[in-house]
Amino acid sequence: MSRPFPAEIEADLRRAVRLEYWTIGWMASIVTVMGLVMGSSQAMRTAWIEDVLSLIPTIVFLVAVRFERKEPSRLFPFGYQRVHSLAFLISAVALSSVGALLLLESVMTLIRQEHATVPPVRLFGQDLWQGWLMVAALLYSVVPPVILGRMKLPLARRLQDEVLHTDALMQKADWMTGLAGVAGVIGLGLGYWWADAAAATVISFSILNDGVTALRIATAELVDGAPRKLGGTEMDPEAELLMAKLERQYPGGRVRLRETGRYLHAEVSGAEPDRGQDLKALWPGAPDRSWRLAQLSFVPPDKEARTGES
Amino acid sequence: MKWTPILCAALLAGCGGMPKDPERTLERVQASRTFSVGLIAAGGPAVADRRHAFVRRVAEATGARPAIEEGAAEPLLARLERGELDLVVGAFAPKSPWARQVTLLPPLGEQAGRGGPVVIAAAARNGENGWIALLHREARAAAAAP
């Protein structure tokens, strides 16, 4: 039996799932084309590995959405909302790994002063420098990620989906690596052996930075840190508004918020709950975002000492 | 955006004559009208004929005179890797460990060796892509010649 998502995000979620299937299709074709013309170029090999790894956030997103729909069970009484947080951590690790791998490979190429050989190939009876085939494959590998990444970003914001957001960042890493590869192969053709490694080094810093930021947010989420802004380490503005409202509503109570996947959980300790609490009415932000507040729980004043607070 | 056509034109002009060599081997060979060749001293007369025919082709294609020396494979290939030779020609095992350190060109022929068949091939310094492109073309033509 499956549990529906909030009505406000159902359509966006279906669209995101569709986009992810498109991503798998396009990326599979890119990985095949790049594999065929890869040769011994460092830039090409790195771009290919990066393309393969870039499928991780896409796949974990699809798996997480499938789990999120499941009803709570006796063994998982709180449901599967947190699978989303785990998926986010996996995606963040994948993005960081791509950045680190790219940095390591390119720095090693520079240190070893490896001169990549790109020989000519016979095509339709003509000798053609393989570098041109590589450039064509790399340019092909740039187009789908630019489009898919741009389509995913607004959806990630509306769905408050860190996995989708990381996936969009991965797509950005894809096209940036592709362009670095083009610069690298043309640089090789012009006789600059270091061109591809130098371009890849610069870009790897940007990817690594995105990956480490994602790791920090994912870790904060898993250790019940305060909700973070999508793609940033600062506190989520919507959560700050909610916190302020709850503090006004329950003076003397201690308000704590945490994030479980895309949802917010609020706890007020040292205060008695009202009767008939309406979570949607409590939401201080835009009404179409009120689905984010999934739970409000109370710790009555006489029980507060047992929660282990200092 | 107004710079885009200028940028494209500059790029296309720069791409003319690609690929070029990082160590300018082809340019040097054409300018100095000489190139250094190491012939691996192994194999029978058939191997020697193939090697010489190939070197002659390269000389014709570049308009340069080969400075040939014979020696054992190991020291010749090490010198090729350091850029002290432009070309080494001889017999190689199909899975030669040198295939990573230098670039093996399309085989000129094949013959039976003690540990199985060996290929007669030329080797160039890694990354000298312009020079390698020329050698590639001549190796293919030499292999196809009767």
Report whether pLDDT(A308) > 50: no
Average pLDDT over chain B, rounded to an integer: 85
pLDDT in tens, A70-110: 999 999 998 888 898 898 899 889 889 888 988 898 898 88
**Chain B partners of A116 at a C-beta cutoff of 8 Å?**
126-127
Which region, left, alpha or beta, applies to residue A252 given φ > 0 means left and ψ of -120 to 50 means alpha? left
- Sequence-ordered list of residues with C-beta below 8 angstroms from that of B62, at least 6 positions apart, any chain: B26, B29, B30, B33, B35, B134
pLDDT in tens, A239-283: 999 999 999 999 888 999 999 889 999 999 988 888 777 888 899
Mean pLDDT of A109-129: 87
pLDDT at res. B1: 45
**Chain B partners of A127 at a C-beta cutoff of 8 Å?**
133, 136-137
Q: Which of A114, A122, A131 sits opposite B19 (nearest CB)?
A: A131
| ipTM for this model | 0.81
* Inter-chain touch A117–B132, beta carbons under 8 Å: yes
What is the model's pTM? 0.78
Interface test with B, best of A44, A114, A190 (most B CBs within 10 A): A190
Q: Which of B11, B14, B19 sits opposite A118 (nearest CB)?
A: B19
Helix axes B45-62, B129-144, angle to 10 degrees: 130
CA separation for the pair A61, A152 (Å, rounded): 12
- Give the percent of chain A with pLDDT over 70: 95
* Inter-chain touch B136–A114, beta carbons under 8 Å: no
Report whether pLDDT(B4) > 80: no
**Chain A partners of B135 at a C-beta cutoff of 8 Å?**
none
* Inter-chain touch B11–A186, beta carbons under 8 Å: yes
* Inter-chain touch B125–A119, beta carbons under 8 Å: no
What is the separation of C-alpha A13 from the centre of its chain, rounded to a whole number of angstroms? 15
**Chain A partners of B25 at a C-beta cutoff of 8 Å?**
none
Burial class (CB in 10 A: 0-12, 13-18, 19+), A63: middle
Three-state DSSP at B85 gives: coil
Q: How far apart are the CA of B75 and the nearest CA of chain A, in angstroms?
A: 21
CB pairs under 8 A between A and B: 62
Cβ atoms of residues B92 and B82 within 8 Å: no
What does the CA dihedral A8, A12, A17, A19 come to, rounded to 10 degrees? 180
Mean pLDDT of A47-59: 85
| Pairwise pLDDT comparison (A303 vs A196), residue with the higher score | A196
**Chain A partners of B127 at a C-beta cutoff of 8 Å?**
114-117, 188, 193
What is the DSSP secondary-structure string of A255-303?
EEEEEETTEEEEEEESSPPPSS--HHHH--S-GGGGGGEEEEEEE-GGG
Pairing assessment for the beta strands B116-125 and B87-92 based on DSSP bridges: antiparallel
* Inter-chain touch B19–A189, beta carbons under 8 Å: yes
Mean pLDDT of B39-62: 84
CA-closest candidate to residue A289, choices A257, A261, A265, A263: A263
